[in-house]
Amino acid sequence: MHVKEAMNPHADVINCEHTVQEAAQKMLRGDYGSLPVERDDKMVGMITDRDIVIRVVAQGLDPAKTKVETCMTEGISYCYDDDDLAVVGQEMITGKIRRLPVINRKKRLVGMLSLGDIANKGQNKNLSHDILSHVSH
């Protein structure tokens, strides 16, 4: 089974120069827990709802003035839409990655893959068990 068969085809990005408030609003509209962050049409990091809470709200920063690049996690892991789902799932478990941007071979964002997607849509019962065990810890 390939990643494209399990991924969520709805994905969005946010520019690193946008505000955290804009990121949170985009997350709300799309029901996302994270967004890839781009600079000059390249993914350079991720911002999660947890990043916003811990690195902005808890620090007393103003989300309307704080730029995404201030609180994002730099660097990004991703997978290709034609990668083997079981291999990617194991890599996500090993790397403790809950959500992964999915790109095509032209390096364009085409979706997002979560551990939940793999557990729900994947056909490998052992992998699903490993994922559920990982998420519950």
Name residues of the chain where pLDDT drops below 50. none
Instruction: Report the pLDDT value the prediction gives residue 132, as an integer from 0 to 100.
Output: 66
The CATH architecture annotation of domain 3-136 reads Roll (3.10)
**Domains of the chain, residue spans:** 3-136
CA-nearest of 55, 52, 54 to 28 is 52
Instruction: Report the pLDDT value the prediction gives residue 63, as an integer from 0 to 100.
Output: 97
Give the C-alpha separation, 58 to 67, whole Å.
16
Instruction: Report the pLDDT value the prediction gives residue 80, as an integer from 0 to 100.
Output: 98
Whole-prediction pTM value? 0.84
Task: Kindly give the interhelix angle for 125-136 and 85-95, rounded to the nearest 10 degrees.
Answer: 20
Alpha-carbon radius of gyration of the chain: 15
